[in-house]
Amino acid sequence: MDRETGLNLALLGVMLAIPLWAMAADEPFLVTLTTRAVIFAIAGIGLNVALGFGGLVSFGHAAFFGVGGYAMGILASHAQGYMPLIEWPILVEGTKSMPVIWLTAICASALTAFAIGALSLRTAGVYFIMITLAFAQMLYYFAISWPAYGGEDGLSIYLRNAFPGLNTMDPIQFFAICYALLLAVLFLVARAARAPFGLMLNAARQNEDRVQAVGQTPYRLYLVAFTISGAITGLAGALFADLNRFVSPSMFSWQTSGEIMVFVILGGVGRVFGPVAGAALFVLLEHVLGGVSDYWHIYLGAILLAVVLYARGGIFGILTGRDTANG
Nearest CB to other proteins, comparing residues 60 and 317? 317
State yes or no: residue 202 binds other proteins (CB under 8 A): yes
SS3 track for the chain: CCHHHHHHHHHHHHHHHHHHHHHHCCCHHHHHHHHHHHHHHHHHHHHHHHHHHHCCCCCCCHHHHHHHHHHHHHHHHHHHCCCCCECCCCCECCCCEHHHHHHHHHHHHHHHHHHHHHHHCCCCHHHHHHHHHHHHHHHHHHHHCCHHHCHHHCEECCCCCEECCECCCCHHHHHHHHHHHHHHHHHHHHHHHHCHHHHHHHHHHHCHHHHHHCCCCHHHHHHHHHHHHHHHHHHHHHHHHHHHCEECHHHHCHHHHHHHHHHHHHHCCCCCCHHHHHHHHHHHHHHHHHHHCCCCHHHHHHHHHHHHHHCCCHHHHHHHCCCCCCC
In the complex, least distance from residue 104 CB atom to other proteins, rounded to whole angstroms: 22
In the complex, least distance from residue 97 CB atom to other proteins, rounded to whole angstroms: 27
Nearest CB to other proteins, comparing residues 35 and 229? 229
Nearest CB to other proteins, comparing residues 112 and 227? 227
Stretch that binds other proteins, among 78-86, 135-143, 191-199, 295-303 (CB under 8 A): 191-199
Of 111, 138, 200, 304, the residue at the interface with other proteins (CB under 8 A) is 200
In the complex, least distance from residue 188 CB atom to other proteins, rounded to whole angstroms: 8
State yes or no: residue 122 binds other proteins (CB under 8 A): no
Of 192, 235, 236, 300, the residue at the interface with other proteins (CB under 8 A) is 192
C-alpha torsion sign, points 198, 202, 208, 209: negative
Positions 204 through 243 that interact with other proteins (CB under 8 A): 206-207, 209-217, 221, 224
Cα separation, 224 vs 217, whole angstroms: 11
Mask: binding to other proteins, 286-325, rule CB under 8 A, as x and -? --------------------------------------x-
Q: How many residues form the binding site for other proteins (CB under 8 A)?
A: 28
Cα separation, 40 vs 60, whole angstroms: 15
Of 6, 142, 153, 194, the residue at the interface with other proteins (CB under 8 A) is 194
State yes or no: residue 196 binds other proteins (CB under 8 A): yes
Stretch that binds other proteins, among 158-166, 194-202, 283-291, 302-310 (CB under 8 A): 194-202
State yes or no: residue 2 binds other proteins (CB under 8 A): no
The CB-side HSE value for 190 (13 A sphere, CA atoms) comes to 13
Nearest CB to other proteins, comparing residues 109 and 202? 202
Mask: binding to other proteins, 139-178, rule CB under 8 A, as x and -? ----------------------------------------
Q: Which residues bind other proteins (CB under 8 A)?
A: 188, 191-192, 194-200, 202-203, 206-207, 209-217, 221, 224, 324, 326-327
